[in-house]
Amino acid sequence: MMNKTGELFYLNLGHEEFQSHLTIPLTLRLKRPMEKLVNFIQEKDVSKRMQHGPEVLTILRDVERSPDLDNDAETVDKIVEGLICWVTTNHYKVCLLGMESFEILVTRLKDKMKVHLKLLLPAVQDRLGDGKEQVREQAHGLLLKIMEFCTSPQMVWDKLMFGFKHKNNHVREITCSCLTATISTFGTKCLSFMRTVPHLCGLLEDANGQVRDAALNCLVEIYRHFGDKVRADIIKNGLPHGR
């Protein structure tokens, strides 16, 4: 039996149970997938998070299975709070599921997610320093999604600037790479890039070679867009003339 959302309901119910289900108002029946979603997300057990993760993604993607998501701020609050715990967990597969869930939320809810960035951005930035490359790349991609759908790149970068001086070399490296991607994706008018030049020049002397390369690549991208307008500023902040 199908409900109006296209979801299969209670195939294993007996006749009396099924008839009882039909007496439940449609508005309550439609809320059940959302209640199930919140329960899945609030699950603390790692194995159950892994088990329910694909279903969480499916419900978030399917507007018919989560019809109230766009207008139910209270439920979204619960979802965000729960998924933050997924993103910050030490279990990398759960972390990846959490960030993928946030990509769907950001794409779907757009600027309605802006109120949650105070919690979300620090959690994602911390993942830039994760020991697993897959997690770092997912975090990088989520930041770009936030800039595209949720708020301005400048607003995001106002929160990310300290990443250039982070003690974790992965964070410093991916922060540089993320800035390069921001420029190539959104253009030069989306940010005040002059604030970043001193940080990038400083990272040319970083102890980690990957950080140095990422900083240099970012400066090259900035110079490609700004040309001689930025050359003097780069030299002033420590880049040798012949470099």
Look up the CATH superfamily of 157-243. Leucine-rich Repeat Variant (1.25.10.10)
Name the residue type at position 63. Answer: V
pLDDT digits (tens, 9 = 90+) for 84-140: 999 999 999 999 999 999 999 999 999 999 999 999 999 999 999 999 999 999 999
pLDDT digits (tens, 9 = 90+) for 66-83: 988 888 999 999 999 999
Average pLDDT over every residue of 187-204: 86
Integer CA distances (angstroms), 155 to 130, 131, 196, in order: 23, 27, 14
In whole numbers, what is the pLDDT of the chain averaged over residues? 86
C-alpha triplet 107, 112, 118: angle, nearest 5°: 100
Look up the CATH superfamily of 1-151. Leucine-rich Repeat Variant (1.25.10.10)
* Cα(155)–Cα(160) distance, integer angstroms: 9
Cβ(98)–Cβ(81) under 8 Å? no
What are the sequence ranges of the domains in the chain?
1-151, 157-243
Burial of 74 (0-12, 13-18, 19+ CB in 10 A): exposed
